[in-house]
Amino acid sequence: MNIIPPYIEPGNTIGIVSTASVINQSVVEPAVELLQSLGYKVQLGSYVFSKNGQFAGTDQQRASDLQLMLDNPEVKAIICSRGGYGSLRTSELINWSGFAAKPKWIVGFSDVTALHAKIQQLGIASIHGPMPKHFTDNEQPSVGFRFLIDALNGKKLSYKVESSEFNRPGKASAPVVGGNLSMIYSLRGTPYDIDTNGKILFIEDLGEYLYHLDRMMMNLKTGGKLENLAGLIVGHFTGMKDHPNKFGKTLEEIITDAIKDYAFPVMFNFEAGHQNNNFPLKLGAEAKIVVNPKKSTFVQ
């Protein structure tokens, strides 16, 4: 199991950085106010609101912000402002040695999967969880945000998961890995490639064509990434698209077909991904899943 970074408490400083796409100040400010209302200090990176094409500043600027937050002992956790694209470019410019010696929690999802993959390589846990846009829901703290604070504070995460006819019953206790499926797919064959052996794999995605979902699942299958899983958790697959020549299978059928040769438990309908209900998972940390036809649970 990976190293668990120190948990945080009110009074600690949380850093916010932009490792990927440009973000509007109006999205981040309510998140800062919400964190401050709970007693946390917030430190923004110098280039959080910068713009360079679709990126939040140049690669060097984004990396500079992240590096300073990683190396600053006063910053106890780092939250990425958004995904989009660019986190891998940022990660490649980082000196991770200080962070490896003194880990801290890094939070994000989607494109931030690239950072999570690097952190897993270092043997450290991180949090796949909501970013500022989803901290509030109807101007109130979102459920996902409340669970995120629990995760950062070291409280047990316990979720009940809606049943699905595509679930495969069973139990598993193992570390969780994964994140955005498109990012996992893009990291295949690189030093960031995720080790899935004996792990519970979590996947989610946004706006993909069904045939491309099949392509990605076939990549994982033929690459041996599925055969030794302890379990599979399927989160939100939001805004999926089909070609004018219909693919002929639903997303659930595509995933089920890719794993039909294996016997591990499979949990669909997990509330994580590109929707307001984005429940955090500690990647690299042990979790227990119980999948039943009528009720499934996730505890970490």
Is 2 a domain residue? no
User: Is pLDDT at 288 greater than 70 in this prediction?
Assistant: yes
Query: Sorting pLDDT into bands at 50, 70 and 90, what band is 276?
Result: confident
Give the range of the structural domain holding residue 255, as residue numbers without chain letter.
Answer: 158-299
Mean pLDDT within 128-139: 93
User: Is pLDDT at 134 greater than 70 in this prediction?
Assistant: yes
Mean pLDDT within 162-169: 95
Is 287 a domain residue? yes
For 85-116, write each residue's pLDDT tens digit: 999 999 999 999 999 999 999 999 999 999 99
User: Is pLDDT at 3 greater than 70 in this prediction?
Assistant: yes
User: Is pLDDT at 1 greater than 80 in this prediction?
Assistant: no
Local structure of 289: helix, strand or coil: strand
pTM of the predicted model as reported, rounded to 2 decimal places: 0.96
User: Is pLDDT at 192 greater than 70 in this prediction?
Assistant: yes
* Structure tokens belonging to residue 103: 């880990």
Nearest to 207 by CA among 272, 110, 130: 110
Residues 6+ apart with CB under 8 A from 231: 170, 172, 174, 200, 201, 264, 265, 266, 267, 289, 291
How far is residue 218's CA from residue 44's CA, in Å, rounded to a whole number?
41
Is 274 a domain residue? yes
Last residue of a domain, one of 124, 153, 182: 153
Assign residue 133 the CATH number of its domain: 3.40.50.10740
Query: Sorting pLDDT into bands at 50, 70 and 90, what band is 295?
Result: confident
Last residue of a domain, one of 97, 130, 153: 153
Mean pLDDT within 117-129: 97
The domain total for the chain is 2
First and final C-alpha spacing in the chain: 13
Residue 162 sits in the same domain as residue 111:
no
Contact 216, 254 (CB under 8 A): no
Residue 46 sits in the same domain as residue 166:
no
Residue 149 sits in the same domain as residue 179:
no
Strands in the chain per DSSP E:
13-17, 41-44, 75-80, 105-108, 126-128, 136-137, 140-141, 158-161, 170-180, 200-206, 231-238, 266-267, 281-283, 286-291, 296-299
Is 232 a domain residue? yes
Contact 17, 69 (CB under 8 A): yes
Is 3 a domain residue? no
Among all residues, which ones are annotated catalytic?
Answer: 110, 204, 274
Write down the pLDDT at residue 294: 83
Average pLDDT of the chain, as a whole number: 97
Query: Sorting pLDDT into bands at 50, 70 and 90, what band is 32?
Result: very high
Residue with tokens 């940390």: 285
